DNA sequence: TTGAAAGCGCTAACAT
DNA sequence: ATGTTAGCGCTTTCAA
């Protein structure tokens, strides 16, 4: 059905102006929704735009305005797991969805290990108006200084010290872990083990703290604590090891649903029944939590919403609005059969 | 530790030129790696760049060059599952990783249902030099015409007809499904059921065809075929239904590992043993395939590699190189315990 | 090998 | 309410 239509040259503001019989400035005003344009002129311009199928050139606009109308989503690549993790995927989705309703575009920035400075340079270069930073490990100090140059919003608390003006959207990981742990204790269990997260990440660290506090407050001692990397495989492997080491426990708190999922598998393989012999809870509610056997009792967070809030805050900051440095999101207890 | 350093104005080409004692043209040449620059001048410029911490402005460069040095990753948003699907996540990862080694940036373009024209307009507007399109449903005709205006590469075959010049990177879904099905038949099973994928997607359709051919070639008749949406939940639900309907089958082919995972759960819940009573295979090798009980025998595809190839082909096309319209990727048989 | 100068398409004073 | 004009920061002929 191709009509051999001669490929029209990309319409410009100037062309639209000519056709509508007005100046470029007027066209620009119409395009940008200024109200200082007579209805008649506006109509003419709009028609010309339609006829010419005009679309503004972003580069030109950016150059003239001195801003890019796009923001970066920075993803430390060392986190190869990043994309495999439903949590991050959802955060991205939430942010992208929010931005779809704005003038901003989302640029994916994989910060390569080979050349981390590349990312920094890009961010500094005025190529984006702000940045969303995810999966922030302790060694990612690279962006810390950028905070002064560019509005940034972090997903999950950073581990930086002596920093001011760090904008973070996160849940209260300590409280979440504590609550999940208490669930187990309330079941009358007293020999608690934990599969913790990476200790170079805020979420990993805080969930460990929450667990420890809950255990301590109950007058107990943890029987085992081992750190994984949030993946199902690590949960599986750690649990196998615990079993092999003949550790006696009747309760298990996993810092992520993915690790809980893996642990549950190892438990099943060893013929240990859940929740009868071991009561299990975790943080995160994702497809792993729902599809494990038995389904996991968890403290749910809402990653899409988190992404949305991150994007929203960033845009506000870009527009010069004041926003709180800390946005602590609510969590929700999801009772299933594992505890 | 903040030093109250006065925020330096963003360095420009001009500033660099002044400092290095050369013209802007020369700086531009150095920046762009031209060889028509004397070693001395080059050195001076490089030092000035370092001292001023100069980073080229993309918008200005784009405007001058008439190209954006960025490409879009188009994601039909109706695919809310998109981000939850490890397959897509990996494709994105592969593409992003490849692009990190080039001058191109990746812009995430969620094509919103509310305003699909927005995406089209953006793509047309010369804002990107090319586009990668994923998860292409039959009704996504929106981009079809764009192919003439902008280099595009699809992940997974499209369902468009009468189209020329559609560039696609995919596996041979028919062959993959056939192979997976034959595995079951080779086990001596003759009452085969299939959980198919969405019939408005190439992958869904082709895997059904492959299954049917294998069954037919063996002189058999399928005992049940039901289409899901590639998610674990749909696999679970469909299998429950089949069991409830007292369908007799001793072999099951699932069009995706995720659906196979769900089906395996339903089977287990019904006390049906795998592979003893039912032999199960699927296409896709992901965390679901690995973590199901029993682990799934599958035909693996390599989504990261697919993303990589997609990006590579797109860049080549942008640079005017000729590339084949069809890139069929190899698959690999992964034997596990489910069949 | 280098520089001068003309834009790229748009916005934003400033005038009118 | 609308037009004029001067850039935004860079690339790229064209001359030298």
Q: For the domain that residue B51 is a member of, what is the CATH number?
A: 1.10.260.40
Residue A5 pLDDT class (50, 70, 90 cuts): very low
Q: How many residues does chain A have?
A: 339
Does B337 map to a domain?
no
A310-327 residue pLDDT tens: 999 999 999 989 999 999
> Is the domain of B318 the same as that of B211?
no
Nucleotide closest to B12 measured between CA and C1': D9
Q: Mutate which of B5, B135, B287, B289 to disrupt the A interface (most A C-beta within 10 Å)?
A: B287
The predicted structure's pLDDT at residue B20:
96
B110: chain A residues, CB-CB within 8 Å: 96-97, 100
> Is the domain of B185 the same as that of B272?
yes
B26-47 residue pLDDT tens: 999 999 999 999 999 999 999 9
Residue B16 pLDDT class (50, 70, 90 cuts): very high
> Is the domain of A81 the same as that of A29?
no
**Cβ atoms B101, A89 nearer than 8 A:** no
> Is the domain of B242 the same as that of B159?
no
The predicted structure's pLDDT at residue B80:
55
B97-144 residue pLDDT tens: 899 888 899 998 887 766 777 788 888 888 899 999 987 666 666 677
> What CATH number did the domain enclosing B277 receive?
3.40.50.2300
> Is the domain of B295 the same as that of B184?
yes
Could you tell me which residues are beta bridge partners of residue A170?
A328
Q: Is B8 on the interface with A (CB under 8 A)?
A: no
SS3 B330: coil
Of A2, A56, A125, the CB nearest to B125: A56
> Is the domain of B292 the same as that of B185?
yes
Of B70, B84, B149, the CB nearest to A287: B84
| Dist CA A315 CA A99 (whole Å) | 9
> Is the domain of A181 the same as that of A275?
yes
A91-130 residue pLDDT tens: 888 998 899 888 899 998 887 776 777 888 888 888 899 9
Nearest to A243 by CA among A277, A286, A276: A277
Nucleotide closest to B54 measured between CA and C1': D9
Question: Number of residue pairs across A and B with CB atoms under 8 Å?
Answer: 136
Mean of per-residue pLDDT scores for chain B: 90
The predicted structure's pLDDT at residue A183:
98
> Does the pLDDT value for residue B5 go beyond 80?
no
B126: chain A residues, CB-CB within 8 Å: 10, 55, 57
CA-to-C1' distance for A150 and D8, Å?
20
B68: chain A residues, CB-CB within 8 Å: 58-59
Does B3 map to a domain?
no
**Cβ atoms A298, A180 nearer than 8 A:** yes
Residue B225 beta carbon within 7 A of nucleic strand D: no
Q: Which of residues 43-102 of A touch strand D (CB under 7 A)?
A: 60, 63-64, 66
> Is the domain of A155 the same as that of A45?
no
Q: Is B107 on the interface with A (CB under 8 A)?
A: yes
The predicted structure's pLDDT at residue B78:
58
CA-to-C1' distance for A65 and D8, Å?
7
> Is the domain of A296 the same as that of A183?
yes
Does B336 map to a domain?
no
> Does the pLDDT value for residue B299 go beyond 80?
yes
Q: Which residue of B has its CA nearest to A69?
A: B59
Computed on alpha carbons and rounded to an integer, the radius of gyration of chain B in Å comes to 26
Among A115-129, A190-204, A281-295, B97-111, name the one with the lowest average pLDDT.
Answer: A115-129
A96: chain B residues, CB-CB within 8 Å: 108, 110
| Dist CA B254 CA B285 (whole Å) | 12
Q: Which of residues 23-52 of B touch strand D (CB under 7 A)?
A: 24-25, 28-29, 31-32
> Is the domain of B83 the same as that of B187?
no
Subunit contact B63:A68, Cβ cutoff 8 A: no
Note the pTM of the prediction, 2 decimals: 0.90
| A 158-217 residues with CB < 8 A to B | 162, 164
> Does the pLDDT value for residue B197 go beyond 60?
yes
| A 310-339 residues with CB < 8 A to B | none
Beta strands in chain B (DSSP E): 70-76, 105-111, 130-133, 152-155, 168-171, 192-196, 224-227, 251-254, 279-283, 297-300, 326-329, 332-334
Does A240 map to a domain?
yes
B92: chain A residues, CB-CB within 8 Å: 83, 108
> B272 lies in which domain range?
173-300
**Cβ atoms B299, B235 nearer than 8 A:** no
Q: How close B155 gets to chain A, by Cα (Å)? A: 17
The predicted structure's pLDDT at residue B125:
80
Q: Is B62 on the interface with A (CB under 8 A)?
A: yes
Looking at the structure of chain A, the number of domains it has is 3
> Is the domain of B215 the same as that of B289?
yes
Among A23-27, B10-14, B82-86, B280-284, name the one with the lowest average pLDDT.
Answer: B82-86
Nucleotides of C under 7 A from a protein CB: 1-5, 7-13
> Is the domain of B270 the same as that of B221?
yes
Subunit contact A55:B124, Cβ cutoff 8 A: yes
Among A49-63, A269-283, B160-174, B276-290, name the one with the lowest average pLDDT.
Answer: B160-174
Residue B146 pLDDT class (50, 70, 90 cuts): confident
A164: chain B residues, CB-CB within 8 Å: 2
Percentage of chain B surpassing pLDDT 90?
Answer: 70
Mean of per-residue pLDDT scores for chain A: 90
> Does the pLDDT value for residue A184 go beyond 80?
yes
The predicted structure's pLDDT at residue B124:
83
Average pLDDT estimate for A189-194: 98
């Amino acid at each position: 059905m191709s009509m051999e239509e001669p490929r029209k040259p990309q319409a410009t503001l100037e062309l639209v102006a000519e056709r509508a019989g007005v100046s470029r400035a007027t066209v620009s005003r119409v395009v940008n929704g200024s109200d200082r344009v007579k209805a008649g002129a506006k109509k003419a311009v709009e028609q010309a735009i339609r006829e010419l199928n005009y679309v503004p050139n972003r580069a030109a606009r950016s150059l003239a305005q001195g801003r890019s109308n796009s923001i970066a989503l920075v993803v430390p690549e060392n986190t190869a797991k990043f994309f495999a993790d439903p949590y991050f995927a959802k955060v991205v989705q939430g942010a992208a969805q929010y931005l779809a309703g704005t003038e901003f575009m989302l640029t994916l920035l994989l910060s390569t290990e080979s050349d981390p400075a590349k990312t920094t340079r890009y961010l500094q270069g005025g190529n984006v108006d702000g940045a969303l930073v995810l999966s922030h490990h302790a060694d990612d100090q690279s962006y810390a200084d950028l905070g002064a140059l560019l509005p940034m919003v972090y997903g999950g608390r950073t581990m930086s010290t002596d920093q001011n003006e760090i904008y973070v959207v996160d849940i209260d990981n300590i409280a979440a872990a504590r609550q999940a742990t208490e669930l187990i204790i309330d079941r009358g269990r007293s020999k608690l083990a934990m599969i913790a997260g990476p200790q170079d990440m805020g979420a990993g660290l805080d969930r460990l703290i929450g667990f420890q506090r809950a255990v301590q407050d109950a007058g107990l001692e943890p029987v085992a604590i081992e750190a994984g990397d949030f993946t199902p495989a690590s949960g599986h492997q750690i649990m196998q090891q615990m079993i092999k080491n003949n550790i006696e426990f009747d309760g298990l708190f996993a810092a992520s649903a993915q690790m809980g999922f893996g642990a549950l598998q190892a438990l099943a393989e060893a013929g240990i029944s859940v929740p009868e012999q071991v009561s299990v809870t975790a943080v995160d509610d994702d497809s792993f939590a729902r599809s494990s056997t038995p389904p996991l009792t968890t403290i749910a967070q809402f990653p899409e919403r988190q992404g949305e809030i991150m994007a929203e805050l960033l845009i506000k900051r870009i527009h010069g609005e004041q926003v709180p440095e800390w946005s602590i999101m609510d969590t929700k207890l999801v009772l299933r059969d594992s505890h």
